[in-house]
Amino acid sequence: MGRETARACAKQQDRSFSRPPSCGKLLHMSNITNLNQFRKQQLRAKKRAQGTENAVKHGRSKGQKTLEEREMGKAARDLDGHAREGDE
């Protein structure tokens, strides 16, 4: 720091400011937030959580559904194969 900058910093440190003096240091700025994007992200997260909850409560995976359909079809075919000619 040069003499003038050091003097300016010393003067700033003596005064009481509501914000900290820079004194040659870089201040970190916060990231700019797009409120529409933030709102949409929150909505997506909420819907994802609701979907997960519903899947646990009601759902089965596609593989489980097809396996069950195949097993039911095979059981029906096996039952029809064991039926007698005269009985209906």
Is 53 inside any structural domain?
A: yes
Is 32 inside any structural domain?
A: no
Among 24, 25, 26, smallest CA distance to 7 is for: 24
What six digits make up the tokens of 24? 């040659």
Is 62 inside any structural domain?
A: yes
What six digits make up the tokens of 6? 């050091």
What local confidence, expressed as pLDDT, does residue 65 receive?
87
Task: Give the percent of the chain with pLDDT over 90.
Answer: 35
Is 33 inside any structural domain?
A: no
Q: Does residue 1 have a pLDDT over 60?
A: no
Q: What is the rounded CA–CA span in Å between residue 72 and residue 69?
A: 5
Is 51 inside any structural domain?
A: yes
What local confidence, expressed as pLDDT, does residue 30 receive?
78
The model's pLDDT over 48-60, given as tens digits with 9 standing for 90+, comes to 999 999 888 888 8
Residue-number span of the structural domain to which 18 is assigned = 3-27+39-81
Q: How many domains are there within the chain?
A: 1
The model's pLDDT over 9-36, given as tens digits with 9 standing for 90+, comes to 656 555 555 555 555 566 677 788 889 9
